[in-house]
Amino acid sequence: MPNTEPTLAAWNILSPEAAAAAILPCNGSQAWANQLAALRPFATPFDLTCTADIVWRSLPPADQQQAFDSHPRIGEQHARSATSESLALSAAEQSTAHLTADTQATLAAANRVYEEKFNRIFIVCATGKSAEEMLNILQHRLANDLSTELREAAEQQRQITQLRLRKWLAS
């Protein structure tokens, strides 16, 4: 079946290392990128996005943590480990938040509480959410236990990855 998606077609023929590097900003986990690159070629964007979910859900927590670490805190510009592409994507995703100084201070304090409890930054699919919405979600998720919150963070990362993959495929 011929591939009509130019980005996907070009990605399918890259070396495994180059393919993993090209798709890494969509998720942030090197294991995810390596596994996805190893499963090529993909005939359609749907095949890629479905496989991306399967690979993501199969990763152990340490590899998921690498993806979490590629994000800046909500309202901030820096991440523990991220490519410049990944940071640019995060900035665009948070751009509709319209942070006021008060909201940014409240988010920073809530982020610290979250990090102390869960030992990672708060992950939320920020696209289309206001700062107040994200703050409410953060405060609600603080009531989660460790395993529930890991599942929620992983689901938010999955949603972020899907959005980024669609943008990447359209580029």
C-alpha span between 5 and 137 (Å, rounded): 36
Q: Tell me the C-alpha distance between 109 and 115, whole Å.
A: 10
**What does DSSP assign to residue 38?**
H
**71 in active site:** yes
Three-state SS for 111-127 is: HHHHHHHHCCCCCCCCC
Q: Structure tokens of 161? A: 């990855």
Residue whose structure tokens are 């979910």: 53
State how far the Cα of 128 lies from the Cα of 5, in Å rounded to an integer: 27
CA geometry: angle 84, 88, 90, nearest 5 deg: 115
Catalytic residues: 71
